[in-house]
A = this chain, B = another copy of it.
Amino acid sequence: MTLRIQVQQQDFSVASEYELLRQEARCGAVVTFSGLVRELTETQLLRMTLEHYPGMTEQALIQIATEAQQRWQLGTVTIIHRVGTLLPNEQIVFVGVASAHRAAGFAAAEFIMDYLKNRAPFWKKEHTSNGEYWVAAKVSDHVALQRWE
């Protein structure tokens, strides 16, 4: 049971993270989630900036990962979240879970993302060809939490 939590400006390598996750001899399943900056439908996204609450962010991610490890039998859990300026198609977040059984891996990875979306102090601002906008929280992200309660 290893926890790997990183909040960083620089990009991350899914390939390297996956290699770390697959090393555990007793874990036959690795589930990963990657979140990317995607294009907007109604206007052109120039870049995104990600603000966070230093100190609280890391604690929140550790709490979420620890809670997942208490709920399911997991090997390594990795959470990486970027902050600062991001361009379209850049990577924002990575969650990786190694586990003996796939159901635990899928559940834990989705649980971590659902909690991260609602509890971890990150805020996105979109810089578009029409101006700058703070991203609004989505009702669907609140609803997503309910299944875990």
A residues touching B (Cβ–Cβ < 8 Å)? 14-15, 18, 22-23, 25-39, 88-89, 91, 100-103, 105-106, 109-110, 113, 140, 144
User: A31: which B residues are within 8 A, CB to CB?
Assistant: 31-33, 109
Closest 8 CB pairs of A and B: A15-B15, A28-B38, A30-B34, A106-B110, A25-B39, A32-B32, A14-B18, A28-B36
Identical chains in the assembly: 2
Can you name 6 extra interface pairs (CB under 8 A) apart from A27-B36, A28-B38?
A22-B36, A25-B88, A30-B33, A31-B31, A35-B102, A106-B113
Closest to A45 in B: B25
Interface SS majority for chain A: mixed
